A and B are shown apart, each in its own frame.
Chain A
């Protein structure tokens, strides 16, 4: 009897391993697509593990496949080679479980819905209890200081306010993985730093796994636990820089020498 139990025992022995399994695991991921002039290789041989609750920034010039990477992780597109695993399962399972919250460079709000209506949109899709939707979304808007604008239409909001609504929309149903595709790059400097601090505050409270695409070096260093520096044609990982700066990070960190030295290091890798 004990012998027949052996495989089970082996199985349970791997259980702690499964617990330590990364939130996102990319192995040999490549992406090719048919462009007008022959085949283009958008991503080549990407290997990357991202831990649960980690904040990872993807830094690189345009054309390095950063945005494609987010689409691969969230199962909007499929890799042409390699595997994408979310907590050990396929990406499509995580998508079906409403595991992803997407934020784009443009707010991409529905112009005919108010701020509150836009935040409620995903809740109508993921099957959130109807009677709690409104209060929940008002609380979310309140958390980014937009409660008094809940009945405003997007055209009545500033660029920063719209992007706040878009972020809150991605947080509304408790997605555990936040995918952000250059969310602050269209904003002015002051608004950008405010939203960065907003994001860090939300992240430290909820500890979601964040994949943050940017081409702004200091933004990547300021926000992330690790900065994945990528190079273009084909998109691949050049190096991964850990950012071991203490948290919570605040505005005055930006003038500290240890912050600036990491920004410089990242810039040198990008230039090389």
Chain B
């Protein structure tokens, strides 16, 4: 009974994935043909085949990618833990809301690159300041979305819970947190791509490893093919995190529409 349904689902998936795949293929072919036809120098625009070959020949890609992912992921996790807990405090305490919100907004208003030198003075050239950049940059969307989500809970359900003598913890776990989940995952989705940006920018400034470092060095050496390899990896990482949290968001809103 479920097998025709499943076949239908895989068909629908194909229906969605096919058009962008065709466009990508056309684009790559045009790109390849243009480079070959006009004999463009590889430092200006390498052909897709050159980029693919460079991808195969660069042995330390995994290392650089791993560094960037570790920085972005650690920063993101720290921001998620602090951000969600802080939102929990903000919706339960008027004092915390009034006292902290201005600073949270200020933290978002300062361009993140401006504090990179300061963090380097304090924490050196290692991984710590990079993780901090990722945490700071992804903090804001997590806090704002989570706060909005926790507030979105239906006040009548909360009233119903209170009328049956539910504890504040029960109200939080059974009503407020589940209502907030779609917002939280939407915030995570934005925060994860920002964390990736933070990691790369931090590596631009001071680093001897990571995809940001790879981009800066290959640009100064005019190794454009390697530049394209790094950009492609970043694109794949961004799309992956976006689709993971998009899926979680859809799962959390399974009862709506």
Binding site for B on A (CB under 8 A): 71, 74-76, 95-96, 98, 100, 102, 104, 106, 108-113, 121-122, 124-126, 153-155, 173, 175, 179
CB < 8 Å neighbour of A125 from B156, B161, B179, B181: B161
A77 CB, nearest partner CB in chain B, Å: 10
Contacts of A71 in B (CB 8 A): 159
**Top 8 A-B residue pairs of the complex, sorted by shortest distance between their CB atoms:** A111-B255, A108-B156, A153-B255, A112-B255, A125-B166, A102-B163, A104-B156, A74-B163
Report if B26 contacts A (CB, 8 A): no
**B161 — nearest CB in chain A belongs to which residue?**
A125
How far, in whole Å, are A231 and B203 apart by their CA atoms in the complex? Answer: 71
User: B residues within 8 A CB of A98?
Assistant: 164-165
Please, how many angstroms separate the alpha-carbon atoms of A74 and B156 in the complex? 14
Count of chain B residues near A, Cβ 8 A: 23
Which residue from chain A places its CB closest to the CB of B182 in the assembled complex?
A: A112
In angstroms, how far is the closest chain B Cβ from the Cβ of A123? 10
Which of B95-103, B170-178, B215-223 lines the interface with chain A? B170-178
Decide: A112 and B178 in contact? CB cutoff 8 A: yes
Contact between chains at B255 and A102 (CB < 8 Å): no
Asked if A110 contacts B163 (CB within 8 A), the reply is no
Residue ID in chain A nearest B153 by CB atoms = A110
* Residue B154 is within 8 A (CB to CB) of chain A in the complex: yes
- Inter-chain CA distance A122–B163, complex, in Å, is 10
State in angstroms the CA–CA spacing of A19 and B179 once bound together: 44
Query: Is B160 interfacial (CB 8 A cutoff)?
Result: yes
Shortest CB-to-CB span from A6 to chain B, Å, is 40
Specify which chain B residues have a CB less than 8 angstroms from the CB of A96 in the assembled complex.
165
Q: Is B252 an interface residue (CB 8 A)?
A: yes
From known contacts A102-B159, A108-B154, A110-B157, infer whether A125 and B255 are also in contact, taking CB-CB under 8 Å.
no
A-contact 0/1 string along B143-158, CB 8 Å cutoff: 0000000000010110
Partner of A100, one of B163, B178, B256, B257: B163
Contacts of B181 in A (CB 8 A): 112
Residue of A nearest to B170 (CB): A125
Bound form: Cα–Cα A55–B160 in Å: 21
The contact string, 1 if C-beta is below 8 Å from chain A, for chain B 89-118, is: 000000000000000000000000000000
Partner of A108, one of B160, B170, B252, B257: B160
The answer to whether A76 touches B163 (Cβ under 8 A) is yes
Enumerate B176-210 residues with CB–CB distance to A below 8 Å.
178-179, 181
Give 18 CB contacts A-B under 8 Å. Answer: A76-B162, A95-B163, A95-B165, A98-B165, A100-B163, A100-B164, A104-B156, A108-B160, A110-B255, A111-B256, A112-B181, A112-B255, A125-B165, A125-B170, A125-B174, A126-B164, A153-B255, A173-B164
Q: How far is the CA of A111 from the CA of B175 in the complex (A)?
A: 10
With A102-B160, A106-B156, A121-B174 already in contact, the answer to whether A155 and B256 are too (CB < 8 A) is yes
Taking the complex as formed, is B7 at the interface, i.e. its CB lies under 8 A from any CB of chain A?
no
Docked Cα-Cα span, A95 to B161, in Å, equals 11
User: Is B254 on the interface with A (CB-CB < 8 A)?
Assistant: yes
- Chain B residues closer than 8 Å to A76, beta-carbon distance: 159, 162-163
The docked-state distance in angstroms from the alpha carbon of A85 to that of B72 is 59
**Distance to closest chain A CB from B208 (angstroms):** 47
Q: Which residues of A contact B179 (CB under 8 A)?
A: 110
- Shortest CB–CB separation between residue A63 and chain B, in angstroms? 19
Min CB gap A67→B, angstroms: 11
* Bound-state Cα–Cα, A111 to B159, Å: 16
Instruction: Please report the C-alpha to C-alpha distance between residue A126 and residue B163 in the assembled complex, in whole angstroms.
Output: 11
B164 is contacted by which of A108, A110, A125, A153 (Cβ under 8 Å)?
A125
Take A122-B164, A126-B164 as given contacts and tell me if A110 and B175 are in contact as well, using a CB distance cutoff of 8 Å. yes
Please determine whether A112 and B174 come into contact, CB atoms closer than 8 angstroms.
Answer: no
**Which B7-32 residues sit within 8 Å CB-CB of chain A?**
none
Shortest CB-to-CB span from B119 to chain A, Å, is 40
- How many angstroms between the C-alpha atoms of A175 and B162 in the bound complex? 14
Q: CA separation between A109 and B161, bound complex, in Å?
A: 12
List of B residues within 8 angstroms of A179 by Cβ: 163
Which residues of chain B are near A111, meaning CB under 8 Å? 255-256
Measured between beta carbons, the chain B residues less than 8 angstroms from A125 are: 161, 164-166, 170, 174
CA distance A124 to B256 in the complex (A): 23
Chain B nearest CB: distance from A130 CB in Å?
15
Q: Which residues of A contact B175 (CB under 8 A)?
A: 110
Chain A hits for B161, CB < 8 A: 125
| Chain B residue at minimal CB-CB distance from A95 | B165
Across-interface contacts of A100 in B (CB, < 8 A) = 163-164
- Please give the distance in Å from A245's CB to the nearest CB on chain B: 31
CA distance A240 to B31 in the complex (A): 85
| Given A98-B164, A155-B255, A124:B159 Cβ within 8 A | no
Nearest neighbor of B155 in chain A, beta-carbon distance: A108
Q: Which residue of A lies closest to B173 (CB)?
A: A124
Most chain A CB inside 10 Å of its own CB: which residue of B156, B160, B162, B165: B160
Q: Which residues of B contact A102 (CB under 8 A)?
A: 159-160, 163
